[in-house]
A = this chain, B = another copy of it.
Amino acid sequence: MANPLQNRFHADDIAQAEHYLATEPPAEIDPRVERLVNELIGRIADKWTLLVLELLEEKGTLRFTAIGRQVDGISQKMLTQTLRQMERDGLLTRTVHPVVPPRVDYALTPLGNSLSAAFCGVWMWAERHLDTVEAARASFDARD
């Protein structure tokens, strides 16, 4: 779950983006595209998908059991389901080796890698504002 990109961006990238948000009026967007984008974000943002994505991005090719061991708390069922969905979406490849015992390798596609990169901004935000969020929560809880 490392974030190798975090030192490669200028620290105020987000502040700059925020500036644009404040000064530019929002553009209109096709409702059909909007619905599909929402669906994709929902899928992608799902807990296990994100974890598997980051693991494979970090470790490269892994077999089924290896992924299960390194994504803590995931059940065999959810692992299978998550991997199938990701394969279906073109995020990873599933390679079955015709040997006994069976051996199945999983690796991200370029599309999967690009998605991992796309989440970089969110990772940076979370790491940068961790303390701020925790302070806000403590303050909120303190006043009932």
Assembly CA distance A27 to B24 (angstroms): 36
Known A111-B132, A117-B14: A21·B5 in contact at CB below 8 Å: yes
- A1 near B90 (CB under 8 angstroms)? no
- A130 near B37 (CB under 8 angstroms)? yes
For the side of the interface on A, what is the size category? Answer: 35 or more
Binds B, one of A44-52, A62-70, A98-106: A44-52
- A interface with B by C-beta (< 8 Å): 1-8, 14-15, 17-18, 20-22, 24-29, 33-34, 36-38, 40-42, 44-47, 50-51, 57-58, 87-90, 110-111, 113-127, 129-130, 132-137, 140-141
30 sample A-B contacts, Cβ–Cβ < 8 Å, listed by A number: A1-B34, A2-B26, A2-B29, A3-B29, A4-B24, A5-B17, A5-B20, A5-B21, A8-B20, A18-B117, A21-B57, A36-B130, A36-B134, A37-B123, A37-B130, A40-B133, A41-B45, A41-B122, A41-B126, A42-B47, A45-B50, A88-B136, A88-B137, A88-B140, A89-B133, A111-B132, A114-B129, A115-B125, A115-B129, A118-B124
